[in-house]
Amino acid sequence: MKYLQPPLFAGLFFLFTGCMDSNPPIKEYNFGTQKTNLQKIVLKVIASNPHLAIDTTPITVLVRRHPDVSGDTSTMFIKLTDFHNQKDSMEVVEWENRQVHLLVKIGDTVTRYSFMYAGDAIEWATSSNTTIFLERAEDKEGHSVIRGEDKHGEFNTQRAKDFIALFDREVVDYIRKEIIAEHI
């Protein structure tokens, strides 16, 4: 039996543990309520705010065009509902179930947002706090800010600040008001 050499083992350890923070969200929000309650509040906010709507654009995933052909690296996008790779499909579906896709419509301006509930089912059931990560923001011209893409300070650009301000005003502020109202 071969053993990993200590430098290789240490390198792999730091690679895998370091990857957890290598894709920072655009912004992180913490709420003093359980995830199931926060989900209800988010749905209430969407229903009560005329500027918000669920983004019903079909979710697509990038897959190998011919997965059984060795060496073929061609890819294509398919709808998430058509993705049935036994090894990966459950992880993709679980990942997507943690996501919320919103449209913020003010006048002729439409901005798409995706945010994700942090944690897993065990954490959601036991924690009295929930964190969401702003994952993506995109305007109708296709300008976007995406989680993990901050190599050159993209999260500090005026566009990113505008995306965050709109999300805060139309989503986060309403969520916080609902949480406060529950505790009164």
Name the pTM for this structure: 0.74
Structural tokens at position 52: 């918000």
Domains by residue range for the chain, with CATH: 25-58+99-182 (3.30.310)
Q: Residue 41: name the closest of 117, 96, 137, 114 by CA.
A: 117
User: In angstroms, how far is the first alpha carbon of the chain from the final one?
Assistant: 63
For the stretch 62-116, pLDDT in tens is 777 777 788 878 877 777 667 666 556 566 666 666 889 999 999 999 999 999 9
